[in-house]
Structure 1
């Protein structure tokens, strides 16, 4: 990615996404691998009259903490992080892993302790303006089975950095997604059918959110929170779930009255079950999302991109987004993607609205 595109990216994050104002503090949280984008964001914040606060992590240290810290240490976080979450109005998180499998050796039980602690911190962070993005690294490219050059170009296209005015391209996508939200706002019952999937739930009275790149960059989805106790049926995740250095294949879940009553996976089943037992809310769905970004068209192993693939839907176990009206609480938020492009259907109130990736409304 050339300097011009990196500068466009930083301008998107600080301008279109966060609208940084003069005098505002902006936390920039990342790893060393993302240095070009970190530096560009630092300059962009300064140019907007803001105050950049850098917090960079080094490879391997979080893994060491998870492997060697006591459970008391894992269950707490420095109060400085809570202070930052409460008082810094803007936050840019740039993921830039150099080893996506580094967490695979960590005991899932210890990861669960860490996740519960971080759940409180995330709740504090949600009250302020934030955006998450992901810098292209060799590790991410390998997960996507692409060369780093091809992956970097893919990343740039997904954020419209190859267009003269990326912000206007995002505003245009948001306007198109608003049409589908207008229709879905009156929906009551949703049925999703696909390979080994037949799931029904209610969204009556819930709020739909237009995710047009303000918080996730890239984005391109609409989402809501299903009525928690209404979920009935079964689903099979089309794509693997890549989490904490593990790759879970063939996840199948059965829901009864909103709760997962049966779960299996072809790979990493023990880890799946440990996450479902993280807390009572982990066995319920907190989000139903619809991917609408036609520029994101292949599985890469990164949920930031994959849940936006046009022609897919995703259902997240765990924490609801309060702005949707969802009330489920959990330290988990774990998206499962269903690919409906070649064989699948969405029915809303007995009307087929999408079949094999083709929409009939919006």
Structure 2
């Protein structure tokens, strides 16, 4: 076994989830990630935890979604398992990143609505989402298998204490903020209130790798237009050139240069899918390659991402409403040129450089 796999497992068990004796741990991973699953079971054994392995398969999911007739039901047996667990570890790793490309977007939306209680239960526990470097994801990223392995394991093994200190300065700015403005190029100018909400410093715990600072907008406060100029891969399809217009917090119009019907399905999932649940600022400059994998892409330095759909409750203050949805879909815009982030009228980032960095101008 590559020693970096055991290092990956140790980081998950120790840094990301803090697995302890007696913890009931669920590991969900594809067959291609079996070596990481084995290493995680070793970690659980050493810590006196109780692991259960559930295999995730995009081929099986596709088969179910394309052949199911009638309404979807919440899988109560899966919900029961999540109610009993203490730690959830989700490992991504595709043999074919486009496996579900021929599943109807409306079917996906209906399934996600049925799965919402399961998702909420899962998110209420200690959890970590990570990536195993598979050939399918390497191909999607335009990398060799070896090159992608190096990319993933370098990103996972970052000095997270040092990264935390770098990001904490942005957390402090946002936690004192009333309003944030994002402007980039000629097509993006959007404002939102973050008053009373909390910024989170992502140092590789719930997401591994980490490397962002994120919060939630006040639900009805988002106003303006955004051109998400970086693509996203959703339901096995690439969505490009997304444009969204917000009024009173709600998505009132949208378009995409490619696969717009997938975006239609997202926004039609439920009413909460038409509101922003997250504003995130990418601050991990060790991730310098776009790979069509949101777990990495949203952390890149010189980027901002916004997610329509569910908000993380930890980011929402007691006086504000937590946006709820069966969806949580991140979309990214490049902030490296002709762009600013303003907080209460003051520029805190210009062209990707933060006000607390030496080369800020």
TM exceeding 0.5: yes
Secondary structure of the corresponding residue to residue 101 of structure 2: helix
Partner residue in 1 for 2:277: 286
1:40 CA drift (Å): 0.5
**Correspondences of 1:207-246 after superposition (within 5 Å):** 207-246=198-237
Residue of structure 2 in register with 1:13 after alignment: 12
Gaps of 5+ in 2: none
Once the two structures are overlaid, the 10-residue window that deviates more, 50-59 or 290-299, is 50-59
Residues in 1 aligned to 2:261 and 2:162: alpha-carbon distance in whole angstroms: 43
1:171-198 Cα deviation digits (max 9, x unpaired): 2211221222112211111111113211
Structure 2 equivalent of residue 193 of structure 1: 183
- Give the drift of 1:271: 2.0
CA distance in 2, matches of 1:343, 1:146: 29
Distance in 1 separating the partners of 2:143 and 2:45: 35
Residue 124 (str. 1) matches residue 121 (str. 2): yes
Give a deviation string over 1:304-330, Cα, whole Å, max 9, x none. 000000111100011111111151111
Deviation, structure 1 residue 77 = 3.8
Q: Pick one of 300, 303, 308 that aligns with 2:291.
A: 300
Q: Which residue of 2 aligns with 1:87?
A: 84
Greater displacement, 188-197 / 55-64: 55-64
Are the counterparts in 1 of residues 180 and 192 from structure 2 also a CA contact under 8 Å? yes
1:175-186 aligned at under 5 Å gives the runs: 175-186=165-176
CA shift, 1:123, in A, is 0.2
Tell me, in whole angstroms, the C-alpha distance in 2 between the residues paired with 1:214 and 1:59: 25
> Is 2:94–2:136's contact at 8 Å kept on the other side of the alignment?
yes
Q: Is the 8 A contact 1:346 1:355 kept in 2?
A: yes
**Following TM superposition, by how much is the alpha carbon of 1:342 offset from its aligned partner in structure 2, in angstroms?**
2.5
| Match of residue 265, structure 1, among 253, 256, 265 | 256
- Given the two structures, how large is their TM-score scaled by the length of structure 1? 0.94
| Separation (CA, whole Å) in 2 of partners of 1:112 and 1:184 | 33
4+ residue segments displaced more than 4 Å: none
CA gap of 1:254–1:121, structure 2 versus 1, over 3 A, is: same
1:52 and 1:185 map into 2 onto residues whose CA distance is 37
TM-score (norm 2): 0.95
Q: CA deviation at 1:332?
A: 1.0
- What is the RMSD computed on CA atoms of the aligned residues? 1.3
